[in-house]
Amino acid sequence: MKKKIYMYDTTLRDGAQGPGVKFSTIDQVQVVKALDTLGIAYIEGGQPGANPKAAELFKRVRDIDLKNSTMVAFGSTRHIKHACDNDPNLNALVDAQTPVVTIFAKSAVSHVRDVLGISLEENLALVRESVVWLKGHDRRVFLDAEHFFDAFYEDEAYALEVITCATDAGAEVIVLCDTNGGRLPEEIADITKAARKKIKNTALGIHTHNDSGCGVANVFAAVRQGAIQVQGTMNGYGERCGNADLCAIIPALQLKMGYDVLTDDQLARLTRKSHLIAELANMSPRDNAPYVGRYAFTHKAGMHADAVGKRKSSYEHITPEQVGNTTRIAVSEMAGRSSLIQKAAELGIQLEKDGPETRMILNRVKELENEGYEFEGADASLELIIRKVTNRSRCFFQTLGFHARVNRPRVEEPIMSEVTVKVELPNGTVEHTVAEGHGPVDAMNNALRKALRTSYPCIEDMHLEDYKVRILDGKLATKAKTRVLIETSDKEDSWYTVGVSENIIAASFVALLDSIEYFLLRRYGMAGDKKTATNDA
């Protein structure tokens, strides 16, 4: 049988300390549900003794029927000034009513003496008494040995004494922490081996940070030496350079190292859960993230795309679908016909290598790239080009013009943005609408929706998720061309469109029009399709 490795997620505690990461209590509940569906064994909800939001989360999740995950409250050993019965932190851990609690303890001599300001013997007493007290309140106890790897080099005997003390007191798992994230894999391996030799009958865990760029590799080193619990965060969120990334760890342990981590169905949800948690954290998904990134299985070079079309393993280290991702072919001027043909094939469109449609599409892509367009990250705009050239598109509306106005009536008042658009529908009706917004792009979006809502009510299902602007030639200053990339989503998927112009409003308008057209094409299909406006979903 495969050896079981248990995932312990600390996104809501350690991950939330990362720059830019922000979860509301509602977001936290959604993260818990997502991690449970993914099959994560333990979910650390935060420190109830120090964070009221964490205490509130533990109350809310009591009503959730978790299928795969166990909630964990996090805190420290008792304070030197308090007995266990009177220690606010320990009592908060019990009040959280989680089956498991994780407490952290100092394992480095210098930290005990200089940070806590107590004797080495007193620190051992904190560990021993805290574990025993929590066990006496029917809690399973995990102990995080803080700075353990640094502590081992500082005073090997004392570092081992701390984890032995916790083991003897009844801790179920001893988690070795590379808190500063500075150790390398061979150091992690040697010290984990020494700890395994010292405490033979207690489970070991590993908690690493990425300050030396080795967070994930350090996890593998510890697992090879016997660690069976892996602590980390989704997408590697965390303070400074982040924590070990569970989205990279899980598939590697399961698909490459042969451990039992998740079921195949759970692993196939990894990409979607990664992106969902990114959105909940108010972070953009990292496109080049291993396994789950948009570019993880994207091929741009013509030779690579051609090879992948013949044998996917030629440039893909796993089957993308195993982690819920997919192969993508990025079409650009340098990619060539093979990339374009494969991209069209993804859409169910067969192109001939030397056919006229292939040449027309490539010429159009080259023309637009000369103007500053880039389609590697704008699949939806590229798909529209392919469909229009191959007559597999449909006209949902034509824009007859737009007018944008930015106005501040008085200096002390906020700037107002107003956009007027005129569109003609296929039945000849002309809609002339005006809308305001927080900025010109928001106003433009509102005006277009207002003009199209009656004919295409499903437009309410699409939402702008992200808006990126890049100046293509900074030397031209205000005369430079601007490239706008818009991410849009509906209930099922997200897509990217691009626009380029010397005028940022015009570039935004082009990208926005592509986004709407792509959405309507997805919903209603092409002319003659079974999908019609009457079966609006």
CA distance 280 to 238: 15
State whether residue 83 is helix, strand or coil: coil
What is the pLDDT, as a whole number, of residue 497? Answer: 92
Q: What is the pLDDT of residues 350-363, one digit of tens each?
A: 888 778 888 888 88
Cα–Cα distances in Å, from 279 out to 22, 233, 250, 465, 513?
10, 15, 20, 9, 24
Contact 375, 384 (CB under 8 A): no
What's the Cα-to-Cα distance from 531 to each of 489, 526, 536, rounded to whole Å? Answer: 20, 8, 8
pLDDT given for residue 370 in this prediction: 83
Q: Which residue spans of the chain are classified as CATH 3.20.20.70?
A: 6-280
Please state, as a whole number, how many other Cβ atoms lie within 10 Å of the Cβ of residue 30. Answer: 16
**Which stretches of 279-397 are assigned E, i.e. beta strand?**
298-299, 328-329
pLDDT attached to residue 413 = 73
What pLDDT is stored for residue 535 in this prediction? 35
**Which residues on adjacent β-strands are paired with residue 498?**
485
Q: Which residues contact 59 (CB under 8 A, 6 or more apart)?
A: none
Alpha carbon distance 390, 384 (integer Å):
10
Q: How far is CA 127 from CA 133, 171, 445, in A?
A: 10, 10, 58
30 contact partners, CB below 8 Å, separation of at least 6: 276, 280
Instruction: With H, G, I as helix, E, B as strand and everything else as coil, classify residue 155.
Output: coil
CB 182 within 8 A of CB 213: no
CATH of 6-280 given 3.40.50.970, 3.20.20.70, 3.40.50.300, 3.30.530.20: 3.20.20.70
The pLDDT score that the predictor gives to residue 304 is: 59
Q: What is the pLDDT of residue 536?
A: 39
Give the Cα separation of 134 and 146 in Å (integer): 19
pLDDT at position 337: 67
* Element at 270 (helix H, strand E): helix 270-280
Residue 475: what pLDDT?
60
User: According to the model, what pLDDT value does residue 408 have?
Assistant: 73
pLDDT in tens, 91-146: 999 999 999 999 999 999 999 999 999 999 999 999 999 999 999 999 999 999 99
pTM above threshold 0.95: no
CA-nearest of 41, 47, 37, 39 to 13 is: 47
> Helix count (H) and strand count (E) of the chain?
18, 16
Per-residue pLDDT of the chain (537 residues; tens, 9 = 90+): 789 999 999 999 999 999 989 898 888 998 999 999 999 999 999 999 888 999 999 999 999 999 999 999 999 999 999 999 999 999 999 999 999 999 999 999 999 999 999 999 999 999 999 999 999 999 999 999 999 999 999 999 999 999 999 999 999 999 999 999 999 999 999 999 999 999 999 999 999 999 999 999 999 999 999 999 999 999 999 999 999 999 999 999 999 999 999 999 999 999 989 988 987 887 878 889 999 998 888 776 555 556 665 666 667 889 899 999 887 766 655 455 666 777 787 777 888 877 888 888 888 888 888 888 877 668 889 889 988 898 888 899 999 989 988 887 777 777 888 999 999 999 999 999 999 988 888 899 999 999 999 999 999 999 888 888 878 775 665 567 888 988 898 877 888 899 999 888 999 999 999 999 999 998 887 644 444 433 333
Let me know: does 159 contact 120? Beta carbons within 8 Å: no
Cα–Cα dist 518/385, whole Å? 11
Instruction: Output the pLDDT for position 42.
Output: 98
Residues of the chain with CATH 3.30.160.270: 398-535
β-sheet bridge partners, residue 479:
none
Per-residue pLDDT at 138? 97
**What is the Cα gyration radius of the chain?**
28
Rounded to whole angstroms, the Cα distance separating 467 from 471 reads 14
- Residue 321 token pair: 């679908």
Whether residue 36 contacts residue 59, with contact meaning beta carbons closer than 8 Å, is answered with: no
User: How high is the pLDDT of residue 531?
Assistant: 45
Domain 398-535 architecture: 2-Layer Sandwich (3.30)
